[in-house]
């Protein structure tokens, strides 16, 4: 694994390359995606069937074929291994408990002049969840997207997932049953995003779309934003690790690979203050790679987009990691909580050697749908509020309008909005 030192003469250019890790060719695929969206808008299910036959390689004979039968979800749930079913329940309960703590509250405030102000929080009516398929199926993503919607109180949840060769992952079906999903469809890619954003004869239009996907899915979400709300524009998975001389190289190495095995575009970046730890970790990465089931994918990710940076101090390491703003950040130091106040930008922070990133992927509780590509500088993890909206509440008494009305009208006068000013002044006592 590539090792670079902050003292190297070419470090800045190397680091700039790391910061550019998430630049994806959205512009390059926008025309393709826009055409897909237009076809869905104009033709609905007819276009959906054509896209499925082209991309997922199976013939859709009727609109019913687009749907996943809830009975199949129940059957899959009943048939999975008991220990696996128990694991799903553990994950479900922990994720639900965590997200229940996020629930925002409506509130009302009363002022002395009779003014009543407040905020009303309500869930969206219908949420659309995109669950990736293709190279791998992710039942955990179903839990992470469905549970905050359930906690928020969303009444109708729509799931879309690609089914290459018309095969649906059994564990995904079981997770759908556990989450009480009634409407799920065998549709993937940009077609699924367009179908949920605009609606078709079979798939209902939703209010918000969440869930990760490839470049086509990300581009489609960007293009339909405004027609619906979205969670974020997510790119390939990534991990950052802060390590000092106490960190165990074999832990560091396998944790770096836990992201590299996602796909060739994933990024695994470690910053350490110890050159020996850097070298030993690099060696361990090579040893682990030889025995990974997804070695080819992980190796390409590590070679093309992985790096170990040796920093001169932990202060420098923190500064660099805040610039990277990784999706997942592990802190593998002697006293990890001491660094927490200095971490400004990260999707999820894993503290200590017993907290590997995968524990967050599945059942720690916090959401694993996280901002990537430095967008942790301004995005948050998927949460209950993604499925809710806020309305302001305003009520003025006669005393309140008399007390504050003229100041309001004066501001309206200044902006040249005569009717605004008049609408206030006609209510003022002479």
What's the confidence (pLDDT) of residue 24?
A: 63
Locate the DSSP E strands across 282-427: 306-310, 328-332, 348-351, 388-395
Alpha carbon distance 28, 248 (integer Å): 42
Interior/surface letters 345-370, b for 16+ CB within 10 angstroms, e for the rest: bbbbbbbebebbbbebbbbbbbbbbb
Question: Dihedral through CA 177, CA 182, CA 188, CA 189, nearest 10?
Answer: -110
What's the confidence (pLDDT) of residue 396?
A: 98
What's the confidence (pLDDT) of residue 135?
A: 52
What's the confidence (pLDDT) of residue 138?
A: 82
In a 13 Å sphere around the CA of 260, the CA atoms on its Cβ side amount to 30
In a 13 Å sphere around the CA of 192, the CA atoms on its Cβ side amount to 32
**pLDDT, tens digit, 9 for 90 and up, residues 370-418:** 999 999 999 999 999 999 999 999 999 999 999 999 999 999 999 999 9
Q: What distance, in Å, lies between the first and last C-alpha atoms of the chain?
A: 80
CA 60 from centroid of its chain's CA atoms = 30
What's the confidence (pLDDT) of residue 21?
A: 76
Q: Which of 39, 170, 261, 327 is catalytic?
A: 327
Tell me the binding residues for Zn(2+): 259, 262, 361, 420
What's the confidence (pLDDT) of residue 133?
A: 80
328 is catalytic: yes
Note whether 239 and 259 are within 8 A (CB).
Answer: yes
Q: Which of 51, 99, 177, 328 is catalytic?
A: 328
Parts of the chain with a pLDDT under 50:
none
Q: Which of 2, 16, 5 is nearest to 317 (CA)?
A: 5
| Structure token pair of residue 259 | 């992201």
Tell me the binding residues for substrate: 237, 259, 262, 328, 361, 415, 420
């Amino acid at each position: 694994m590539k090792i670079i030192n902050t003292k190297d003469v070419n470090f800045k250019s190397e680091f700039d390359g790391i910061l550019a890790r998430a630049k994806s060719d959205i512009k390059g695929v926008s025309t393709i995606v826009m055409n897909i969206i237009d076809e869905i808008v104009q033709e609905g299910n007819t276009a959906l069937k054509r896209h499925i036959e082209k991309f997922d390689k199976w013939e859709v004979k009727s609109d019913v074929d687009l749907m996943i039968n809830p009975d199949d979800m129940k059957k899959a749930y009943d048939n999975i291994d008991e220990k696996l079913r128990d694991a799903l329940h553990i994950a479900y309960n922990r994720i639900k408990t965590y997200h229940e703590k996020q629930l925002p509250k409506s509130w009302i405030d009363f002022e002395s002049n009779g003014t009543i102000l407040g905020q009303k929080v309500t869930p969206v009516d219908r949420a659309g969840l995109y669950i990736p398929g293709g190279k791998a199926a992710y039942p955990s993503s179903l839990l992470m997207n469905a549970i905050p919607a359930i906690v928020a109180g969303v009444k109708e949840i729509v799931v879309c997932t690609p089914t290459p060769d018309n095969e649906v992952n059994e564990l995904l079906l079981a997770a759908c049953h556990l989450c009480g999903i009634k409407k799920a469809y065998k549709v993937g890619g940009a077609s699924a995003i367009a179908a949920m954003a605009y609606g078709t004869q079979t798939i209902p239009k939703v209010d918000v779309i969440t869930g990760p996907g490839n470049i086509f899915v990300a581009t489609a979400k960007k293009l339909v934003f405004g027609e619906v709300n979205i969670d974020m524009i997510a790119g390939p998975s990534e991990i950052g690790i802060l390590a000092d001389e106490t960190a165990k190289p074999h832990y560091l190495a396998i944790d770096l690979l836990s992201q590299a095995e996602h796909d060739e575009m994933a990024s695994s970046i470690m910053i350490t203050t110890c050159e020996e730890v850097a070298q030993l970790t690099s060696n361990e990465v090579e040893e682990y790679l030889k025995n990974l089931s997804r070695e080819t994918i992980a190796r390409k990710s590590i070679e093309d987009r992985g790096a170990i940076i040796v920093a001169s101090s932990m202060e420098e390491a923190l500064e660099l990691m805040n610039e990277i703003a990784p999706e997942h950040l592990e802190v593998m130091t002697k006293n990890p909580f001491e660094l927490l106040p200095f971490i400004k930008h990260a999707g999820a922070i894993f503290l200590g050697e017993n907290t590997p990133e995968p524990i967050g992927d599945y059942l720690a509780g916090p959401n694993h749908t996280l901002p990537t590509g430095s967008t942790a500088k301004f995005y948050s993890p998927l949460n209950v509020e993604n499925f809710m909206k806020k309305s302001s509440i305003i009520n003025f008494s006669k005393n309140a309008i008399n007390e504050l009305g003229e100041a309001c009208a004066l501001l309206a006068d200044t902006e040249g909005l005569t009717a605004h000013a008049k609408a206030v002044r006609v209510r003022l006592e002479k």
